[in-house]
Amino acid sequence: MPIAMNRRALQPLGELETAVMDVAWKRPSVTAREVCDRIAARILADHGDAALSAFVDAAAKVDDTLLDELRRLITLRRRETR
| Domain edges within the chain | 14-80
Give the model confidence (pLDDT) of 18-53 as tens digits: 889 999 899 889 999 999 999 999 999 999 999 999
User: What is the pLDDT confidence band of residue 6, given thresholds at 50, 70 and 90?
Assistant: low
pTM of this prediction exceeds 0.85 = no
For the chain, give the number of residues. Answer: 82
The half-sphere exposure of 35 on its side-chain side, counting CA atoms within 13 A, is 17
Tell me: pLDDT of 75 over 70: yes
